[in-house]
């Protein structure tokens, strides 16, 4: 049985195995969390992972006040420097809510 693949999206060429995509997302989000320690902002890349990062006031229950969410292709483009924060926001590929929901000083997290 062939491995599940993700549909082509953003800067990814088609046929990327889902497991490879998931690993890339999780690893790069881990790098973000290590670089921007804290729990003020939650970065979500459904369905693969979410991390809390950036120092500041934290939260203990429910939905955090500062959330950044995007699809996997957008996150990987942002994490590798192939997409700027500003362009992601302007085009609606990145959804950010809350005063501190800004990753500009923390991306890209990996270089290619």
| Distance, CA of 107 to CA of 98 (rounded, Å) | 18
pLDDT tens for residues 30-85?
999 999 999 999 999 999 999 999 998 876 677 788 999 999 999 999 999 999 99
Query: Of residues 51 and 1, which shows the higher confidence score?
Result: 51
Q: What is the pTM of this model?
A: 0.85
What pLDDT, on a 0 to 100 scale, did the predictor assign at position 62? 74
Domain ranges in the chain?
Answer: 18-97
Helices 72-79 and 18-35: crossing angle in degrees, nearest 10, is: 50
Q: How crowded is residue 23: how many other Cβ atoms within 10 Å of its Cβ?
A: 12
CATH no. of 18-97: 3.30.1050.40
Average pLDDT, the chain: 88
Mean pLDDT of 2-19: 60
Q: Binning pLDDT at 50, 70 and 90, where does residue 3 land?
A: very low
Q: How far apart are CA 45 and CA 70, in angstroms?
A: 5
Q: List, as one string, the DSSP characters of 10-44.
A: TTBPS--BHHHHHHHHHHHHHHHHHHS-SSSEEEE
């Amino acid at each position: 049985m062939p491995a599940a693949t993700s549909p082509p999206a953003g800067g990814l060429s088609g046929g990327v195995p889902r497991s490879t995509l998931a690993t890339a997302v999780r690893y790069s989000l881990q790098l973000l969390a290590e670089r921007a320690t804290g729990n003020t902002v939650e970065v979500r890349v459904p369905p693969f992972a979410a991390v809390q990062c950036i120092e500041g006031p934290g939260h203990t229950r429910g939905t955090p006040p500062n959330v950044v969410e995007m699809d996997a292709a957008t996150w990987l483009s942002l994490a590798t420097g192939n997409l700027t924060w500003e362009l992601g926001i302007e085009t609606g590929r990145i959804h950010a809510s809350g005063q501190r929901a800004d990753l500009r000083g923390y991306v890209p997290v990996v270089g290619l």
